[in-house]
Amino acid sequence: MKKLISWIVLIPIGVVVVVFAIFNRAPVSFDLWPFAYRIDVPLFIAVFAGVLIGFILGVGVMMLALGRARRARRAQMYRAEDAEREARYLKNELDKAQNSARQNAAGGVPATAMAKTGEVVAPPPAAY
């Protein structure tokens, strides 16, 4: 459905661009002021070049303006990942402590023997 709608929109725009290019082929002179050059180009090329340059400048300005928001979002993502990692670590530690308490209460394996099982757990990440 989206593809159909995009074709319905793009075909008339393409027709308008082609008709504009056909009817505006008259040459236009551009003086490149600080230099001693004069360029003659068709009007439609001058218009399309102006639109393209404006688009590129607009994208550049938006990238600069949104840079701060992207940095903040990236920092929040890192903080969320650290919090999830710490939550997993703490849950693992809680499970180990509960198992140890159950075994001690039942007269089973002492807590020091359980620590020697070889289970490796990463420590929580350092705080910012």
Provide the 8-state DSSP code for 35.
T
Task: Please write the tens of the pLDDT for every residue from 31-76.
Answer: 888 888 888 999 999 999 999 999 999 999 999 989 989 999 999 9
Provide the 8-state DSSP code for 126.
P
**What is the average pLDDT across 75-81?**
96
Q: How many CA atoms are closer than 13 Å to the CA of 53, on its beta-carbon side?
A: 6
Mean predicted lDDT score pLDDT of the chain: 85
Torsion, Cα 72 77 81 84, to 10 degrees, reads 100
- Please tell me the predicted confidence (pLDDT) of residue 52: 96
**What is the average pLDDT across 76-100?**
94
SS3 for 67-125 is HHHHHHHHHHHHHHHHHHHHHHHHHHHHHHHHHHHHHHHCCCCCHHHHHHHCCCCCCCC
- Please tell me the predicted confidence (pLDDT) of residue 2: 87
- Please tell me the predicted confidence (pLDDT) of residue 33: 82
- Rounded to whole angstroms, the Cα distance separating 86 from 125 reads 7
